[in-house]
Chains A and B, each alone.
Chain A
């Protein structure tokens, strides 16, 4: 019994430690976001409490100067198209890969995997010229097109899930005269709901947090997204950390809310069908 108790204590201890490690740096940001410029100038320690715990001044500045309202609108637009695009494309790819054997199957999978291994930052000049030649520069379509491009993690999630949908369903539908597309639309897609939820969340958050692509391809002020709005404040000449912290908290907040309410789907989505 004692051995059990020791083991259990160790387990809880490690969990608590991990929690502290995760939450501590974040907590400091929250504290900083409530400090005034004067307090920052006074260089109070990182762990010190701000003078006024409800000093919302920085939040107001971050929201207004960062034009977060229009940023939210733009972000929502991009999210809508990029995420639904990814869901459609990812599920179609997974369907094709799992349900059919065809000559280049392995090659296709390899293509997607290799694409993920290429660091995007090294191809930026080439990608930029390409996007520009399509005339998509400085429009909302540039990031949408780029986000829909490749995503092995989404494909993996769909693939794992599709594997647990028995082929017999396909076969009985085929006997009823359905073609591949009908099978996909009427049987596979509806059954993928948990996986879709997972992909929506994970991909959505990745798109939401991405900074470089919107920054490079949509320089116009009215095309700002949430992540770039945060970085209007950080230039080589101005780094007002108290405003940036407030902005960061504002940016993280929707993520947190989405995460807390949709947790279940995330875990379930990764879980389904990950059998052999």
Chain B
């Protein structure tokens, strides 16, 4: 019964976890094996809990995916009541048209931006987990962009990058007068858009890291300081191992996010001037040129690429935990 009082929502339960390996299946060691009926019941119980979530998941996510895979084998235009099966024709077309894959270069910008984003999030999470003045204010400010409506952000930044807009006005305050069209060339536009993406999503990474860092028990820091470790050492040996799962999740989400970027460039430039991403291209194929079959094939290919990237990442940086969470 002492367990109950010591554990609970204080978060300092690292020590608690050191108790004998948590019973892998509740009830197996200890009391004599339960009668067969109960064991069957126990085997079924987890599934009972999972019925609702899995049903929703399968119905609203996987069924459409299956449908989409089915469409990718047709030449459907997205609305006509008739369609014809074309076998793997769409996939062949995808592979023989290099320009359809060139758009992945644009994702490179977002990938680089996410790397920066994670580093920045880690940096801010680290400094804000120690004592800094106005800590809560800064925490709030950094997280807030994540909560803002996507289209509103698009407008805010269109205004920001306009000729004579916010960015130009601010720069002129510092005496820098550029004639640069921020969204004017592919390179500049992609960098600007990737910047907007960082602005928007860093808050989430930040809070995730902050939570993980703050869960590391305080005694460890004190002990380390007594041993003469400075901030950097503390980061490397205490914080870093503790946030591995969160970091892993963040990296996976970043990679998949960069490959499937859609909202920000679509709202701000519609994909013009070299800012077209793979998903924008897919949407255009489906809705402007009525090639829903081809677009579905493209979406399937994208999904496979994202899965492959995730798998590679898990191989390169294995977690000692079985699940990534």
- Whether B19 lies near A117 (C-beta < 8 A) is no
A274 at interface, CB cutoff 8 A: yes
Interface of B is mostly: helix
B46 at interface, CB cutoff 8 A: yes
Neighbouring B residues of A127 by C-beta, 8 Å: 60, 64
B245 closest partner in A (C-beta): A274
- Could you tell me the distance in whole angstroms from the C-beta of A68 to the nearest C-beta in chain B? 14
The complex places the Cα of A115 from the Cα of B53 at a distance, in Å, of: 12
Interface residue count on the A side (C-beta < 8 Å) = 107
A211 at interface, CB cutoff 8 A: yes
Minimum-distance CB pairs A-B, first 8: A270-B211, A122-B299, A126-B64, A126-B67, A100-B46, A271-B211, A96-B49, A274-B215
A103 closest partner in B (C-beta): B43
Q: Which residues 165-202 of A sit at the B interface, judged by CB distance below 8 A?
A: 165-172, 174, 179-181, 184, 191, 193-194
Interface of A is mostly: helix
- Whether A270 lies near B210 (C-beta < 8 A) is yes
A56 at interface, CB cutoff 8 A: no
7 A–B contacts, CB within 8 A, in A order? A18-B138, A92-B50, A97-B46, A121-B262, A252-B149, A267-B207, A275-B216
A227 at interface, CB cutoff 8 A: yes
- Whether B147 lies near A92 (C-beta < 8 A) is no
Given contacts A22-B144, A180-B49, 4 further A-B contacts (CB under 8 A): A112-B57, A125-B68, A130-B60, A156-B249
Neighbouring A residues of B296 by C-beta, 8 Å: 122
The complex places the Cα of A46 from the Cα of B68 at a distance, in Å, of: 44
- Whether A21 lies near B45 (C-beta < 8 A) is no
Neighbouring A residues of B78 by C-beta, 8 Å: 125
A89 at interface, CB cutoff 8 A: yes
- Whether A117 lies near B325 (C-beta < 8 A) is no
- Could you tell me the distance in whole angstroms from the C-beta of A101 to the nearest C-beta in chain B? 5
Which of B3-11, B87-95, B97-105 lines the interface with chain A? Answer: B3-11
Neighbouring A residues of B115 by C-beta, 8 Å: none
- Could you tell me the distance in whole angstroms from the C-beta of A79 to the nearest C-beta in chain B? 14
B137 closest partner in A (C-beta): A19
Neighbouring A residues of B145 by C-beta, 8 Å: 22
- Whether B214 lies near A121 (C-beta < 8 A) is no
A73 at interface, CB cutoff 8 A: no
A2 at interface, CB cutoff 8 A: no
Select one of B140, B208, B241, B279 contacting A263, CB under 8 A.
B140
The complex places the Cα of A26 from the Cα of B148 at a distance, in Å, of: 10
Which of B106-114, B156-164, B179-187, B221-229 lines the interface with chain A? Answer: B156-164
Neighbouring B residues of A83 by C-beta, 8 Å: none
